[in-house]
Structure 1
Amino acid sequence: MNPQLFKKKHIDRLGVQYKNFENIFHPLKDIYFFCKNLESQIFLGNPAFIQMCGKKDELDVIGKSDYDFFPQHLVQGYILDDQKVISTNKTMQNKIELVSDLKESLKWFITTKAPLYDKRGKIMGTMGTTRDMQITAEQIRPFEKMSKAIEHIHDNYANPIEIKNIAKEVHLSVSQFERNFKKVFKTSPLKYIQKVRLDIAIQKIIDTNRSISEIALESGFYDHSHFCHYFKKQTELSPLNYRKKLHKIHRFNK
């Protein structure tokens, strides 16, 4: 569909909300604002977001998905968040994550996503903001102190990880580390480890034809049953049904 028609179709459903979004988010330079439909296709973005996608014209982004602009292994996590917000009808607030920019360097971002409703009150997708945490040194300092811990988790997710070993990486006792980690990331180290493993598993589910049991072990889960239980708790879908759904969305966005 023509990008202009695609945008108009969705904006018509938004009604007066569109002008509110434009007035609030269009001038902002350090906050990236976007709206997506139920298939995670972008139909609205402020200039900062368009630039983040590596484009100058909004029409080069409209009707496309994150798959067109960002590394695939990261996009799977973005779409998982989109679908979770839609299926649960709940806002995802202030998710702090390492993401890759267009130069493929890692940066800290903080993202919030919420259900987006049309003028009749029916959910039509997601709206969100994300912000580069490296813009101010004061904001990023606590995260930099934990960078070695994060690297340790990402390097060793497939193996058993002991909290005491991560704590040593940042020269803290276990209790100090757990307390500081939760203060910075708003989650416990164990929950963060499980989230990393889940993201890796999702990447493998989409990118490979490996069995669910193989993926579970390769991603650091100790057995098939535990993995499937945790996966369904987080996504509300079984791993196999999730694979089918994401393949469908990916094909739709090609």
Structure 2
Amino acid sequence: MPPTPSAALFARLATPYTAEALFDCLLDVVYFVKNERAEYVVVNRTLADRCGVRDKRDLIGKTADQVAPPPLGRTSWEQDVAVLRTGVPVLNQLELHVYPTGQAGWCLTDKFPLLDAAGKVIGLAGVSHDLHAPDESAGQYRSVAAAVNHARANLDRRLTAGELAGVAGLSVYQLDQRIRRLFRLTTGQLLLKFRMDAAAEQLRDTDRPVSQVGLACGFADQSAFARQFRRTTGLTPGEYRRTFGTGPG
């Protein structure tokens, strides 16, 4: 069977092509390749900048939990290990990344296993691309503004896509399509982002008990809130407060 055009081209290259130089051009995308030990073997400039290192080579051979002091890098490392162990990719995962420099921001993360000729997982490649706030003056935003404002004003209870669509005067499908175009998120992901934003702000700026923070953000069960917060931010609510808290006491 003849090789595919891409395989034929790559076989002629002097060195393996990693696209590192291309990803260095993307300031709002973190890019990395890791080996079977979850160690960085390729990174782009954006990742190095956000980790506070001058030279990308300073990250090579390290794992996420070695680059970021605990507990910041732990969840990313655990995610890497799961991909390497199971071969199951991470797809469109909404995350609030907090870097060693203190920079924080929302992103969507994808990670894919790398396989050898026998089908064994020998590494992974991934990207995290930043989410940017849409232009609220745009006509498309005005069409969903009522739903967005309603969601932000009712974070203390479970909202459905149907309720938000009714507020906007749209079908559920129409609302979801417009939110995807504006925010690059599904309606469910946007609701989760709003709830996690509010929770992070309360944990950071107040001394309210974690259980009350969870209730205020629509979680009747404190353990469910803690699990979701850790999955999204990489930190438990208590760890986030201890690391970034500025509130009284």
Larger radius of gyration: 2
Q: TM-score, normalised by structure 1?
A: 0.48
